[in-house]
């Protein structure tokens, strides 16, 4: 292959890749799904009259949280009363009404705990005349590491470490984490109730399960304390993980600690969850750009998981 042809291929590959990124750009995704005309707001297929709300806030967490918050600020303008969003260190952007709190990712830190407490206090102060936008994206779980009372951040991190070491699945780890957290597993929706919540979700998870993205803070959680105890028994962790965690899970199983909100719980009556960007959308945009450039393209899957180096060999062999 001559250098000129190779250069063309590289340029085409870059354009195709850029098209995929543009399709899931956080700011553009917000503007695609959230539109305002005077006092009327449309979010996906639902319409809201902003005159019905005394105050509007933005909360949330994730690596794209700053860009998502900035987009909402530009849409809501002076109707926005304020807000708090936890973002990764170095990921702040210019905003005026929303506070962006830099926090640790992928390893949670006390700055994240502080930011999560600020979010919780804001949500607990709201009534039915408030509208809350919740922006969620990849990293949202680590960036809101607020353990339940009686469990420290270090103890919560130890649980994750022990479970990973013993071979627990990510779903099992998430089940336990949701039950020792004040934000995850629908708890954010509970904190915000009876306010109206619009959760705008940018997915970085295969299959886009809403209860998994950022650990589902505004989504019903079907798992239970009994599931957590079964996981502890399965991996023989009762004498390994911190006693405070075992005690909390046991008391939860006995009904002394509140369960995560389940499907049908009234706390979700005024919650709208909207998936605004996914890996599938990026793939579709890449395919469209490739076709525009004269390539016959095919999406093999949007659910590939594994070592990139190995998957690339398989894809190259198919090509």
CA pair distance 246, 237, nearest whole angstrom: 9
The residue to which tokens 């046991």 are assigned: 250
- Mean pLDDT, rounded, for 57-68: 98
What pLDDT digit, counting tens, does each position of 129-155 carry?
Answer: 999 999 999 999 999 999 999 999 999
pLDDT tier for residue 38 given thresholds of 50, 70 and 90? very high
Question: What integer best gives the mean pLDDT of the chain?
Answer: 95
The pLDDT assigned to 2 comes to: 66
Residue 278: pLDDT over 90: yes
Helices (H) and strands (E) in the chain, counts: 12, 9
**DSSP letter string, 186-221:** THHHHHHTTSEEEEEEE--STT--TTTGGG-TTS--
Q: Would you kindly state where each structural domain of the chain is located, as residue ranges?
A: 1-24+278-319, 33-146+181-217+261-275, 148-180+224-259
Q: Are 181 and 148 in contact (CB under 8 A)?
A: yes
Q: How many CB atoms lie within 10 A of CB 187?
A: 26
User: 274 forms bridges with which residues in the sheet?
Assistant: 200
Choose the CATH number for 33-146+181-217+261-275 among 3.40.50.1370, 3.40.50.10180, 3.40.630.90, 3.40.50.2300.
3.40.50.10180
The pLDDT assigned to 179 comes to: 97
The pLDDT assigned to 61 comes to: 98
The pLDDT assigned to 1 comes to: 61
Q: Are 183 and 116 in contact (CB under 8 A)?
A: yes
Residue 5: pLDDT over 70: yes
What pLDDT digit, counting tens, does each position of 153-165 carry?
Answer: 999 999 999 999 9
CA pair distance 282, 18, nearest whole angstrom: 10
Residue 58: pLDDT over 70: yes
């Amino acid at each position: 292959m001559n250098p000129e042809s190779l250069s063309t291929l590289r340029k085409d590959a870059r354009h195709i890749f850029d098209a995929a990124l543009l399709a899931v750009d956080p700011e553009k995704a917000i503007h695609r799904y959230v539109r305002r005309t005077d006092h009327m707001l449309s979010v996906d297929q639902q319409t809201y009259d902003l005159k019905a709300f005394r105050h509007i806030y933005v909360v949330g967490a994730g690596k794209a949280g700053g860009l998502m918050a900035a987009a909402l600020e530009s849409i809501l303008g002076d109707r926005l009363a304020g807000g708090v969003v936890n973002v990764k260190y170095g990921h702040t952007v210019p905003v005026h009404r929303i506070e962006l709190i830099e926090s640790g990712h992928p390893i949670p830190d006390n700055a994240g705990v502080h930011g999560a407490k600020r979010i919780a206090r804001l949500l607990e102060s709201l009534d039915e005349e408030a509208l809350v936008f919740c922006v969620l994206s990849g990293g949202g779980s680590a960036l809101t590491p607020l353990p339940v009372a009686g469990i420290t951040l270090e103890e919560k991190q130890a649980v994750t470490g022990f479970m990973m070491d013993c071979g627990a699945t990510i779903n099992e780890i998430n089940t336990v984490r949701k039950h020792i957290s004040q934000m995850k597993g629908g708890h954010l929706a509970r904190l915000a109730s009876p306010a109206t919540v619009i959760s705008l979700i940018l997915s970085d998870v295969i299959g886009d399960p809403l209860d998994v993205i950022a650990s589902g803070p505004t989504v019903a959680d079907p798992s239970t304390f009994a599931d957590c105890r079964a996981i502890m028994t399965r991996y023989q962790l009762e004498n390994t993980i911190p006693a405070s965690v075992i005690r909390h899970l046991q008391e939860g199983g006995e009904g002394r600690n509140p369960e995560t909100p389940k499907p049908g719980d009234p706390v979700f009556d005024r919650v709208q969850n909207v998936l605004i960007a996914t890996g599938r959308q990026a793939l579709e945009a890449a395919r469209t750009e490739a076709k525009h450039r004269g390539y016959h393209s095919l999406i093999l899957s949007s659910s590939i998981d594994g070592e990139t180096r190995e998957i690339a060999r398989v894809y190259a062999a198919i090509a």
